[in-house]
Chain A
């Protein structure tokens, strides 16, 4: 039998949700198996780093890399898989723009460790802290060194394609897999390098079923503070801070449709440098106040704007990277 192209999937700093999403494509997974030889997928099968290290450069055709780069191990694997793969795909929000783990960049590494090891919620009477290197009788023990800032994949290695979402919607994944297979069968061309796959042209509002009117916000509120939510009216118009307007479409507006504000997991839409900046700009524009004092009062109700606007995009944001990690086309 002829050699099937090799497929790999790896999780760096991530929750594993992306893997679930992949399995969520149901029967389609059989097509993957039919067309690929899965060589490395820690979640799904037993494999050792050294096996990968022994491969030829570029031996793997397609690697779906999810999770962000939090420590030296993540970084090592990113570089390794980059070397070994023809196509490296930043898969899911973490790999794309840092996602929830990226919010750690708002604190110093020291603060992070304090929270992890010395807050009341931690049972650590001796106040033990992890040591990257420990001398024991048998020799030196090391654990992966913790990087001071968390970075999306593209800031560490060169990335071929991006599939955003937390996690990427299964139907989008399926579609991408179809494309890849079509390419393998010579029926289609690869999209240009750096393309975004499984994303729409517009923003979540485009797919949102709620009715929208001209916007004037006098008071912001939070979903838990609302007595009742109009099931058909735009959430923003009800004073809820919804990231939909500045988030790439592709998810089918699941959250707003269900009455929850869009958290922004699909990242900025095409050609936008920084989703947060767009939210700041557009929200501030529709606040219906002219008096500085009143403006402050209104904005006081917009709790933790940084967290709200950058819940997923912080590590990939214009400011955090100093580099437009998000430079599409």
Chain B
């Protein structure tokens, strides 16, 4: 009568009901269940039904193995705990007895029945139903073999910030090849822009540059700077990545990095990227002295030659003749086994909060601008001065949480701003002796030696004012000193409004996901949180992996982090990658979709349902195909195929429908008779 168990009629099924001590037997009448299965499921091919104290015990497993051989069982059902706990165990037992492990099915009568049900009778009935369902389902099972895929030992690291550098070095040092792709002309990332790093105040360059040059020279690391990932195809172990190496207009094989081209270039350009807009560079430039690689790039949008066709100063002066004005973008294909995304963060655009006057009032700076200003190699050679470039401020106000912890912008905490602002406070004091006012909502200094640093800054006499600054206005308007900035704030500790005049305001702006984060996520088949950060496989237990096998994340790409955590994540991701590479090949659960070309009409409805791009269209035969290794087995396409041409191993229509029938076969409650499934 069952519509879906048409084929493979006569099976020999064994049913094993576990007491789990009293965990199950305490509520479910296991004896009754076993007996019932034996008698009432005979038509379903049940030949043995037994209960036992602990099925997962070696004795319990033995029992099953023996029966498989003695009773010639070709299907096994174990009614015990959740398959997430012991599926492997019992599949193992089946395998040992020479039965294909995938012909063994579990019914979770502990997690789903005994532990959650009060009424013992109803519990027993539900257990019966689940057993009958498992039997009905397992009858539809077919032998399966796990899928094996080899793993390419090279790795792609996207993003040359500290996290990416760290990851690359770890992998390279364990003897495997790494491609490090960086969008900018040099690796180094945000850390290279900083002057000092909290809480130890050692200079960023001093600790970063050795790592950079190590990565630059490492035999196992191939740097692709001034390059961007165009396309990603493949799956764990076998990714094919297309990278665009943007035209540098400099022949790196000839360039000696002498820098004469930069000196001679007549075109001065505001450096929006590395100097955060407060410094200048040339049209041909290396972002900073210690850049790795040392070769400059030519910014064609600002180059006189590309505008007017004249100039060519760089070309004239370059002794080795490395300037290549006819340079073209180059597309390269990389074959890698794993990918680490360390794409970092963007900073909040302070113009979005006009009341703080950034962009309107000259002496309002962002934290990143200020980092550059403090940096000895920065536009002011480390002098802390007003926008005029010479006057040192006598008083400085630092606003925390600009664009963070605010439902209008980003509701999350950017994690680093408190410490960064305290660091600024210290540096201002140290270098200018100016009065410093830090305006904070809550002070968050929770990490090793962070709070000690906070104490230190307090002792230095920094004024900490608890309150969100309402607005920054030009003091010139009123009788307050002209040219000064007035910070209007409610000091919530004294409950008073205060107007504090300062010469300079620093906005500790939020860390935001990269503007193109979602696009990148889509490209690599991973997902973003509602805030736009990459989502980890598990926020606590698997913070550097993603839902897509072989794609890992490190550093701020998955959320605001300080340098130590970013470095730690870099190493962690590297470790995960290396452990994959060491396995050489991988076996994947054979839960996969496949398309019957006969039945496929080529309607293409399934084509863009797959987030892992596993479905492609065969233009020749006009049918769609599923790439087995790409498929993650979610079954969405199976459910969506209008022609019923797609089947999903492990969860076929027949199996699920049979399971439903099985469940419906047993009434919820003895008293309430129910029409049986047909």
User: Quick check: do A and B touch in the complex, using CB within 8 A?
Assistant: yes
CB of A71 within 8 Å of the partner chain: no
Which residues of A from 202 to 234 have beta carbons under 8 Å from B? 202-206, 208, 212-216, 234
Assess whether A205 is in contact with B608, with CB atoms less than 8 Å apart.
no
Q: Which residues of B contact A236 (CB under 8 A)?
A: 603, 605
User: Least Cβ distance of A160 to chain B in Å?
Assistant: 18
Q: Which residues of A contact B639 (CB under 8 A)?
A: 281, 285
Q: Which residues of B contact A278 (CB under 8 A)?
A: 641-644
CA distance A279 to B6 in the complex (A): 24
Q: Which residues of B contact A204 (CB under 8 A)?
A: 601
A285 and B636 in contact (CB under 8 A), knowing A216-B608, A323-B678, A324-B3?
yes
Q: Which residues of B contact A281 (CB under 8 A)?
A: 639-640, 642
Q: Which residues of A contact B678 (CB under 8 A)?
A: 322-323
Stretch at the interface among A14-22, A44-52, A126-134, A269-277: A269-277
Which residues of B from 599 to 653 have beta carbons under 8 Å from A? 599-605, 607-609, 617, 636, 639-645, 653
Assess whether B604 is in contact with A202, with CB atoms less than 8 Å apart.
no
CA distance A204 to B599 in the complex (A): 11
Residue of B6, B617, B641, B653 with highest tally of chain A CB at under 10 A: B641
| In the A-B complex, the 7 residue pairs with the closest CB atoms | A245-B642, A205-B601, A324-B3, A246-B642, A206-B601, A285-B640, A282-B642
Other than the given A234-B604, A245-B603, A273-B3, 17 more pairs (CB < 8 A) read A201-B598, A202-B643, A203-B601, A204-B601, A244-B603, A249-B601, A268-B644, A269-B643, A270-B599, A271-B644, A272-B643, A278-B642, A286-B609, A322-B678, A327-B3, A327-B6, A329-B6
Residue tally, chain B, CB below 8 Å to A: 25
CA distance A208 to B636 in the complex (A): 25
Q: Which residues of B contact A249 (CB under 8 A)?
A: 601
Please classify how large the interface on chain A is, using the bins under 10, 10 to 19, 20 to 34, 35 or more: 35 or more
A203 and B3 in contact (CB under 8 A), knowing A245-B605, A286-B605, A323-B678?
no
Q: Which residues of B contact A273 (CB under 8 A)?
A: 3, 653, 657
Q: Which residues of A contact B617 (CB under 8 A)?
A: 214
User: Least Cβ distance of A49 to chain B in Å?
Assistant: 32
Q: Which residues of B contact A246 (CB under 8 A)?
A: 642-643
Which residues of B from 280 to 303 have beta carbons under 8 Å from A? none
Q: Which residues of B contact A216 (CB under 8 A)?
A: 608
Q: Which residues of A contact B607 (CB under 8 A)?
A: 214-215
Assess whether A282 is in contact with B600, with CB atoms less than 8 Å apart.
no
Which residues of B from 393 to 409 have beta carbons under 8 Å from A? none
Assess whether B3 is in contact with A245, with CB atoms less than 8 Å apart.
no
Residue of B609, B641, B643, B653 with highest tally of chain A CB at under 10 A: B643
CA distance A206 to B3 in the complex (A): 27
Assess whether B599 is in contact with A212, with CB atoms less than 8 Å apart.
no
Q: Which residues of A contact B598 (CB under 8 A)?
A: 201-202
Assess whether B608 is in contact with A279, with CB atoms less than 8 Å apart.
no
Chain B 648-678 interface mask (CB, 8 Å, partner A; 1/0): 0000010001000000000000000000001
Q: Which residues of B contact A329 (CB under 8 A)?
A: 6
Assess whether A202 is in contact with B599, with CB atoms less than 8 Å apart.
yes
CA distance A214 to B602 in the complex (A): 10
CA distance A324 to B653 in the complex (A): 14
Q: Which residues of A contact B636 (CB under 8 A)?
A: 285
User: Least Cβ distance of A68 to chain B in Å?
Assistant: 20
Residue of A203, A208, A236 with highest tally of chain B CB at under 10 A: A203
Assess whether A212 is in contact with B602, with CB atoms less than 8 Å apart.
yes
Chain A 264-296 interface mask (CB, 8 Å, partner B; 1/0): 000011111100001101100110000000000
Q: Which residues of A contact B6 (CB under 8 A)?
A: 327, 329
Q: Which residues of A contact B604 (CB under 8 A)?
A: 212-215, 234
Seen from chain B, the residues whose Cβ lies within 8 Å of a Cβ on chain A are 3, 6, 598-605, 607-609, 617, 636, 639-645, 653, 657, 678
Assess whether B642 is in contact with A206, with CB atoms less than 8 Å apart.
no
Q: Which residues of A contact B643 (CB under 8 A)?
A: 202-203, 205, 245-246, 269, 272, 278
Contact for B608 among A212, A215, A269, A327, CB less than 8 A: A215
CA distance A322 to B640 in the complex (A): 22
Q: Which residues of A contact B600 (CB under 8 A)?
A: 202
Could you pull out 19 A-B pairs where Cβ atoms are within 8 angstroms?
A: A201-B599, A203-B643, A204-B601, A213-B604, A214-B608, A215-B607, A216-B608, A234-B603, A245-B605, A270-B599, A272-B644, A273-B653, A279-B642, A281-B639, A282-B641, A285-B636, A286-B609, A323-B3, A329-B6
Assess whether B642 is in contact with A212, with CB atoms less than 8 Å apart.
no
Assess whether B644 is in contact with A212, with CB atoms less than 8 Å apart.
no
User: Least Cβ distance of A141 to chain B in Å?
Assistant: 38
Q: Which residues of A contact B653 (CB under 8 A)?
A: 273
CA distance A279 to B640 in the complex (A): 8
Which residues of A from 25 to 50 have beta carbons under 8 Å from B? none
CA distance A203 to B605 in the complex (A): 13
CA distance A278 to B653 in the complex (A): 12
CA distance A174 to B642 in the complex (A): 29
CA distance A236 to B609 in the complex (A): 16
User: Least Cβ distance of B5 to chain A in Å?
Assistant: 11
Chain B, residue nearest A269 (CB): B643
Q: Which residues of A contact B642 (CB under 8 A)?
A: 203, 245-246, 278-279, 281-282
CA distance A269 to B605 in the complex (A): 16
Residue of B605, B607, B636 with highest tally of chain A CB at under 10 A: B605
CA distance A245 to B607 in the complex (A): 14
CA distance A121 to B645 in the complex (A): 46
Assess whether A285 is in contact with B601, with CB atoms less than 8 Å apart.
no
Chain A, residue nearest B645 (CB): A202
User: Least Cβ distance of A46 to chain B in Å?
Assistant: 42
User: Least Cβ distance of B522 to chain A in Å?
Assistant: 14
Q: Which residues of A contact B603 (CB under 8 A)?
A: 203, 205, 212, 215, 234, 236, 244-245, 282
User: Least Cβ distance of B624 to chain A in Å?
Assistant: 10
CA distance A279 to B642 in the complex (A): 6
User: Least Cβ distance of A240 to chain B in Å?
Assistant: 14
CA distance A26 to B599 in the complex (A): 32
Q: Which residues of A contact B605 (CB under 8 A)?
A: 215, 236, 245, 282, 285-286
User: Least Cβ distance of A114 to chain B in Å?
Assistant: 30
Assess whether A206 is in contact with B602, with CB atoms less than 8 Å apart.
yes
CA distance A3 to B640 in the complex (A): 53
User: Least Cβ distance of B230 to chain A in Å?
Assistant: 20
Contact for A205 among B3, B602, B657, CB less than 8 A: B602
Q: Which residues of A contact B657 (CB under 8 A)?
A: 273
Q: Which residues of A contact B640 (CB under 8 A)?
A: 281-282, 285-286
CA distance A206 to B597 in the complex (A): 11
User: Least Cβ distance of B640 to chain A in Å?
Assistant: 4
CA distance A322 to B674 in the complex (A): 14
Q: Which residues of B contact A213 (CB under 8 A)?
A: 604
CA distance A202 to B596 in the complex (A): 10
Q: Which residues of B contact A282 (CB under 8 A)?
A: 603, 605, 640-642
User: Least Cβ distance of A271 to chain B in Å?
Assistant: 5
Chain A, residue nearest B639 (CB): A281
User: Least Cβ distance of B98 to chain A in Å?
Assistant: 32
CA distance A53 to B273 in the complex (A): 95
Q: Which residues of B contact A286 (CB under 8 A)?
A: 605, 608-609, 640
Chain A, residue nearest B599 (CB): A202
